[in-house]
Structure 1
Amino acid sequence: MRPLNKTTVQKPQYPTKVLQFGSGNFLRAFVDWMIDKANDEGLLNHGIAIVQATPGSVKSKEVFEKQDCLYHVYLEGIKDKQPIKEVSLIKSITDIVNPYTDYKKYEELFLRDELEIIVSNTTEAGIRYEEGDDLNAAPPKSFPAQITALLYKRYQKFNGARHKGLSILCCELIEDNGSTLREYVIRHAQDNNLGSDFIEWVANANYFYDTLVDRIVPGFPKANIEEIKAEIGFDDNLLVKGEYFHVWAIGGDSSIRQKLPLDQIGLNVLFMDDIRPFRSKKVRVLNGAHTAMVPVGLQMGVETVKEAFDNTLVEQFIKRMVEEEVLPAIGEDLEELRAFADKILERFYNPYLKHYLKDIALNSLSKWETRNWPTIVDNYTKRGKIASFTAFSFAALLVMYSGKSEIAFEPRDVQDAVSLIQSTFDCNNISGWVSKILQDASIWREKLNTIPGFEEEVTRGVEAILNNGMKQALSQWLQD
């Protein structure tokens, strides 16, 4: 089997226009894959230098260097209801540096004249404000402080030239990721007395984008890697496996459309002034469907999302919930929403990914309140109706957490909330039990007994599941 490096593959030379904080699977199978496609199409000419986010990444860096930063992205999924596979050799990574062991090289990279873009995925914990972080450290401790120091040195080198500011795209899975980073950078600048001129340059010559990213990336396929290596013909130890579906929503200044026109080659990259409405739509359809599916599917005896959608009752339940309750409550063009939802739900049939319901079940109480409760509220306030399928999903969740379900289930959630649900359970007074839970301020951000009729519908669902089992209860609910 051939090694994967510049002796076996012709690697193009690209100027380093992108500095990427994070060497993990997701960015390599998402952002780097997109930029590489655009380079191949002649749309871009962008090299990507990777900055490792942690000091203890020596072995990983050695693999990158051994392979000359070459690797494959192996995608499998469903498109237009048909299986699809795509294997791409990524050739656009120009370098990798660990700033903790080679700060000089790191500084040389971020001070390059041709640098235009920063991309980051430093995990949800990465964008945090570290009080007193030393901007003169090599490097500073926190990611926002690192970006502050980086920008200040660019500001000094280029004498505050406007065109040497950067476009910064955050892929961390938190709301307002770019806006939050911008806020922390300015705060670090103020706390370290870097001057009003620099702060003005940060605010007006640099663009911080809020983004929402979506692609399931399991990573290195250890279980069948030898089979895949034989298929691609290379000994690739950086290979990343992911699903075919992808979406990248980018909100903020419109100049990013010209710098990263990825939509022009058919990639699902969406540019918008404000991504919050799109995030809300995605959360309600995709994440809301997942959260509703978990307690129903697990109590039907299925383990994965694919198995759940292979079950006719669960599939029908989720599809009707989305079509009849979620989409009409969003308030956008219904046909466009249906097309959006169809692409989302098509992913649930993907036979190549084992997306376990027990994993999605983590912290289901807060997930349900964030993802599904708004559908209950909007159906009542906008349409004057109770979202019955969504209410049934909550009933299923309460039964699963109660310890009285027909399946053995150990909730991984806030222990006090789980204990309260279980300790107050009263088989002789289900309505009273449901009522106590809905109005308990220690569990919810807002009481869930404020929508008339919701409490009664949940009680009806709980009683049906406890008395008849999930299969019969769900079957009857779909007929009502």
Structure 2
Amino acid sequence: MRAPSIGRLTATTVARPDLPITILQFGAGNFLRAFVDWMVSRANEDGVTRDGIAVVQVTDRPSRALDQLADQDGLFHVYLEGIRDRQPVKEVDLVTSVRAVLSAHRDVEEYERLVVSPDLKVVVSNTTEAGIEYVHGDDLAARPPRSFPAKVTALLHRRFAHFGGSPDAGLSFLCCELIEDNGSTLREYVLRHAAENGLGAAFEDWVRTACRFYDTLVDRIVPGFPQEEIGQVQAEIGFADELVVKAEHFYVWAIAGDPRIREDLPLDQAGLNVLFMEDIRPFRAKKVRILNGSHTAMSAVGLHMGCGTVRDAFADPQVEAYITRMVAQEVLPTIPGDRSDLEAFAQQILERFYNPFLQHALTDISLNALSKWTTRNLPVVLDRWAESAEAPLTILSLAALLVLYSGHSGNPDFQPRDDEREVEFLRTTFDRRDVPAWVRGAVGRLLLPGPVDAAVLARLSAETARAVELIFERGMAGALGEYLA
């Protein structure tokens, strides 16, 4: 509920800059508002950019958030809570970059006018992982088409026709969907729709040469609307903001592709943590190994230690030392790049784990942990071995995970949320009298469906089995004590 005696947040109660709409944003959710809209607002305030955003709802479902955003004239606050130098910090920003709010289905004429605006230069999207899908036979003549890639195809074809195929009318696409090669995939689907609908070779060539589709990686935890404490938050900011969104202080936006985007959206010049690069893959690998790999290892070990959240885990001196040392000694040496830069990046990542404002449950992180370990942590082990080095701390996380899944750990309340066949296999084949055989069977299944190297299978099984035995004999605290000695 609203805090008493405070006014509504609208363009009549606060000043906002007069900005041209240069960015079309598909999606009105918490993440884009606390990420892209917040960054653009910051850059505008610093005088680096003069970009206004039109927020467009992609689906035809009623949206309370979209209606509220329109009622507040696109204005809202981002309430940042996080850690800086291991100290909690709070910051509240009024976001003033959103200039228009509309539905592609209800506000068809306004939407179509925006599509051909000469001011438009960037399209941003977050339509969820399922949003970038190819729907065969999608009707491009519909107003609008059903799927997001078909909407983009129709948008671009309208713009192509309006500007007579001028290369200057091309747009830059920044996809925030959490799929690999998000921009490249959207481009592929747009070209498939163009070919399927016979839009012509000239249009396809214009899409390839005049438009730019960027692969991106986004990172910021956005808990969203602070329902439990909204009265307190509204009193603090001084407005009855019905769309205030909470987010962590940390963020990064990695953007790969044509350098033109640095002209279209020079957010880095405002001191924002936006990284431009030629290829997203090295950055993605770095992030997956350091952040996601740490999460997977932490959940496996922390759940043995009675920790409920990431914050609990990093409040435990043994778990904190374990993760910190694993990253420094085993993970970072497997990542190409300047060591000091990698250490600084890792420090940024690990500092997030101290955030007292975020309750990130280890049981949630442990979802599908077997496949996650294979994707995030196994490559570290294999790369270390390829360099004739060891990875005992990373292997300890696999041992901790297998013991949890065995049903015989010191945490009887833990229930795996994973492939039921794998969970059943680990529980029904567990034999405390022959741990090596049990581990070998488990590791063999982990390494599938790819080709299984006999030497890798034997070594990983043997080293994991030794760690499993130690956990059963001395408990996780005792095992950590030995591995960290």
TM-score exceeds 0.5: yes
Q: Aligned-pair distance for 1:453? A: 2.6
Identify the residue that residue 77 of structure 1 maps to in structure 2: 82
Is 1:360 paired with 2:360? no
SS in 1 for 2:445: coil
Is 1:87 paired with 2:92? yes
Out of 457, 463, 466, the position equivalent to 1:460 is 466
TM-score of the superposed pair, with normalisation by structure 1: 0.97
Structure 1 residues 417 and 229, CA, compared in 2 at 3 Å: closer, same or farther? same
Is 1:9 paired with 2:18? no
Q: Unaligned regions of 5+ residues in structure 2, if any?
A: 1-5
* CA distance in 2: counterparts of 1:331 and 1:164, whole angstroms: 38
Is 1:384 paired with 2:388? yes
SS in 2 for 1:89: strand
Is 1:405 paired with 2:413? no
User: 1:253-272 alignment to 2 at 5 Å?
Assistant: 253-272=258-277
Structure 1 residues 439 and 231, CA, compared in 2 at 3 Å: closer, same or farther? same
Letter aligned with residue 31 of structure 2: F
Identify the residue that residue 475 of structure 1 maps to in structure 2: 481
Residues 417 and 443 of structure 1 are in contact (CA less than 8 Å); yes or no, is this contact kept in structure 2?
Answer: no
Structure 1 residues 73 and 450, CA, compared in 2 at 3 Å: closer, same or farther? farther
Q: Which moved more, 1:330-339 or 1:261-270?
A: 330-339
* CA distance in 2: counterparts of 1:176 and 1:65, whole angstroms: 32
Out of 340, 345, 356, the position equivalent to 2:345 is 340
Residues 370 and 446 of structure 2 are in contact (CA less than 8 Å); yes or no, is this contact kept in structure 1?
Answer: no
Q: Aligned-pair distance for 1:80? A: 2.4
SS in 2 for 1:65: helix
Q: Aligned-pair distance for 1:445? A: 4.3
Q: Aligned-pair distance for 1:449? A: 5.9
SS in 1 for 2:379: helix
* CA distance in 2: counterparts of 1:129 and 1:410, whole angstroms: 36
Is 1:53 paired with 2:58? yes
Is 1:185 paired with 2:172? no
* CA distance in 2: counterparts of 1:373 and 1:448, whole angstroms: 13
Q: Which moved more, 1:52-61 or 1:280-289?
A: 52-61
Letter aligned with residue 161 of structure 1: S
SS in 2 for 1:123: coil
User: 1:17-416 alignment to 2 at 5 Å?
Assistant: 17-381=22-386, 383-407=387-411, 408-416=413-421
Deviations 1:225-258 (A, max 9, x none): 1101010110001001000001000000001111
TM-score of the superposed pair, with normalisation by structure 2: 0.96
Structure 1 residues 280 and 78, CA, compared in 2 at 3 Å: closer, same or farther? same
* CA distance in 1: counterparts of 2:269 and 2:393, whole angstroms: 39
Residues 438 and 447 of structure 1 are in contact (CA less than 8 Å); yes or no, is this contact kept in structure 2?
Answer: no
Identify the residue that residue 3 of structure 2 maps to in structure 1: none
Letter aligned with residue 241 of structure 2: D
Q: Which moved more, 1:467-476 or 1:222-231?
A: 467-476
* CA distance in 2: counterparts of 1:214 and 1:60, whole angstroms: 22
Letter aligned with residue 318 of structure 1: I
Deviations 1:83-114 (A, max 9, x none): 22211101110111111222222111212111
Q: Aligned-pair distance for 1:441? A: 6.7
Deviation >6 Å, runs of 4+: none
Letter aligned with residue 184 of structure 2: S
Residues 443 and 460 of structure 2 are in contact (CA less than 8 Å); yes or no, is this contact kept in structure 1?
Answer: no
CA RMSD of the aligned region, Å? 1.3
Deviations 1:375-418 (A, max 9, x none): 0010001x212300000000001111111111121111111111
* CA distance in 1: counterparts of 2:353 and 2:451, whole angstroms: 31
Aligned length: 478
Residues 311 and 353 of structure 2 are in contact (CA less than 8 Å); yes or no, is this contact kept in structure 1?
Answer: yes
* CA distance in 1: counterparts of 2:215 and 2:300, whole angstroms: 32
Q: Aligned-pair distance for 1:221? A: 0.7
SS in 2 for 1:18: strand
SS in 2 for 1:174: coil
Q: Aligned-pair distance for 1:72? A: 0.1
Q: Aligned-pair distance for 1:467? A: 2.2
* CA distance in 2: counterparts of 1:284 and 1:364, whole angstroms: 14
Q: Which moved more, 1:99-108 or 1:262-271?
A: 99-108
Residues 81 and 91 of structure 2 are in contact (CA less than 8 Å); yes or no, is this contact kept in structure 1?
Answer: yes
SS in 2 for 1:271: strand
Residues 308 and 315 of structure 1 are in contact (CA less than 8 Å); yes or no, is this contact kept in structure 2?
Answer: yes
* CA distance in 2: counterparts of 1:60 and 1:238, whole angstroms: 7
Q: Aligned-pair distance for 1:160? A: 0.3
SS in 2 for 1:219: coil
Q: Unaligned regions of 5+ residues in structure 1, if any?
A: none
Q: Percent identity?
A: 53
Residues 79 and 247 of structure 2 are in contact (CA less than 8 Å); yes or no, is this contact kept in structure 1?
Answer: yes
Residues 138 and 145 of structure 2 are in contact (CA less than 8 Å); yes or no, is this contact kept in structure 1?
Answer: yes
Residues 215 and 242 of structure 1 are in contact (CA less than 8 Å); yes or no, is this contact kept in structure 2?
Answer: yes
SS in 1 for 2:269: helix
SS in 1 for 2:433: coil
* CA distance in 1: counterparts of 2:302 and 2:346, whole angstroms: 20
Q: Aligned-pair distance for 1:450? A: 4.5
* CA distance in 2: counterparts of 1:43 and 1:333, whole angstroms: 30
* CA distance in 2: counterparts of 1:405 and 1:444, whole angstroms: 28
Residues 366 and 444 of structure 1 are in contact (CA less than 8 Å); yes or no, is this contact kept in structure 2?
Answer: no
* CA distance in 2: counterparts of 1:290 and 1:466, whole angstroms: 23
Q: Aligned-pair distance for 1:440? A: 2.0
